[in-house]
């Protein structure tokens, strides 16, 4: 497959990037992150846990690239242009919203946050489909790829939040003096 790399003159280097390097980095990052967040080998700040997770991520990424590197590369090359444009529009919408009212997005929690995110994605889809023509109900390859990518990101986010939601928070200390004797000393 021929990949379009405007920044690299040699096509074999571009092919190597898309078929080996980018898929390997992607697979390594996903596996390393999942191993750290699942805390199989210990807490995230433990050097041994990070080292073991990194080695497993390196090897697993390499093994995945051996079998599926060209397929992942073709997928990444096909998705890149459409996804970058879609992500740019979504980021632009979020920036516009935060410029108008900076605190508006921070007040949504839980299911409300997912509804807001879904609304922003629908607005971006509306903008990219040609707002003057109307909604495009046709599922293009870029939209299918975006749905898959967002589904994977959503599943990873759900997994991370489901495993890390029960953190022990220390009880809050009262702001004033806690002992009556301290109150007496301050009044004198």
38 in a domain, yes or no? yes
Domain that holds residue 49: 11-161
Pick 167 or 84 by higher pLDDT: 84
186 in a domain, yes or no? no
pLDDT score of 82:
66
Residue 34 clears pLDDT 60, i.e. is over it: yes
Residue 86 clears pLDDT 80, i.e. is over it: no
pTM, rounded to two decimals: 0.39
179 in a domain, yes or no? no
* C-alpha torsion sign, points 127, 128, 133, 137: negative
Whole-angstrom distance, CA of residue 22 vs CA of residue 161: 27
pLDDT score of 168:
47
What mean pLDDT comes out for the span 139-161?
71
pLDDT score of 123:
74
Task: Please list, residue by residue across 87-101, b when 16 or more beta carbons sit within 10 angstroms of its beta carbon and e when fewer do.
Answer: eebbeebeeeeeeee
């Amino acid at each position: 497959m021929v990949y379009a790399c405007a920044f690299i003159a040699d096509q074999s280097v571009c092919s190597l990037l898309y078929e080996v390097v980018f898929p390997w980095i992607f697979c390594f990052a996903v596996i390393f992150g999942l191993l750290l967040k699942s805390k199989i080998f210990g807490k995230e700040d433990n050097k041994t846990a990070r080292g073991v997770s990194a080695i497993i991520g390196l090897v697993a990424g390499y093994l995945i690239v051996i079998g599926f590197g060209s397929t992942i590369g073709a997928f990444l090359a096909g998705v890149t242009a459409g996804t970058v444009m879609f992500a740019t529009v979504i980021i632009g919408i979020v920036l516009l919203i935060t410029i108008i009212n900076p605190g508006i997005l921070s007040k949504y929690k839980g299911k409300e946050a997912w509804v807001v995110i879904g609304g922003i994605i629908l607005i971006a889809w509306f903008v990219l489909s040609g707002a003057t023509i109307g909604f495009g109900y046709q599922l293009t390859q870029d939209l299918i790829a975006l749905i898959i990518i967002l589904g994977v990101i959503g599943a990873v986010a759900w997994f991370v939040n489901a495993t890390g939601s029960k953190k022990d928070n220390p009880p809050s200390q009262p702001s004033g003096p806690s002992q009556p004797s301290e109150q007496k000393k301050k009044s004198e």
